[in-house]
Amino acid sequence: MSDPKRITLLIVDDHPLFRKGVVQLVNSTGRFSLVGEASSGAEGIDLAYTHQPDMILLDLNMKDMSGIDVLKVLKAADLDSRVIMLTVSDQQEDLVSALRAGADGYLLKDMEPEDLVAHLEEAARGQMVLSPALAGLLAHALRQGSKPKTPAEAGLTEQEEKTLERIATGKSNKLIARELSITEGTVKVHVKHLLKKLNLKSRVEAAVWAVERNHKA
């Protein structure tokens, strides 16, 4: 039985040596409890259903199915697991596709080990995590797309504005619900509505957009 104080973790990656390295790294922290390793997308989905871990580290490119397809299946299953893409791809298209499919973070495999651990611990606390090198890439992708409206033009309600402010700091629905004294289900509704009003596709896009807007203000 895993230690309830530790963050349960599932790794889905078809490279055995990389999995071994990540396992050694997270075990050395004492903060994580590994519940499974999967060498394919299909196996990863099965293990996710079986163990329902707190966090899933998911590779983008695997032989049997793409990480994006695995992500979509996991998100459709409404598991309470945070799914972090851990990949070598720094391509804008892959980043945007993953975030729009519901990824809770996107980290590059070439990160320094201590930085990777720090980001995983942030993710476990409900933060959205993104490799620093990719923030500018996402902002560029936003500028290429249709320009979002301002909150005033979009007609955001006060609660939607408050929700957006907290999304901008990377907070999860659970944390936002606690701070605003509303249910997690209500937060999900607010997020859905504000994304539609602002013409954005994901909460990470909303976070980047909100931060950029504040810098310009």
| 17-20 contacts at long range (C-beta below 8 A, 24 or more positions apart) | 18/109
Look at 204 and 67; give whichever has higher pLDDT: 67
Q: 26-64 pLDDT, tens per residue?
A: 989 889 999 999 999 999 999 999 999 999 999 999 988
What pLDDT score does 42 carry?
A: 95
CATH code given to domain 7-134: 3.40.50.2300
| CATH class of the domain at 146-216 | mainly alpha
For residue 203, name the pLDDT band (cuts at 50, 70, 90).
confident
In the chain, which segments carry CATH 3.40.50.2300?
Answer: 7-134
| Segments of the chain assigned to CATH 1.10.10.10 | 146-216
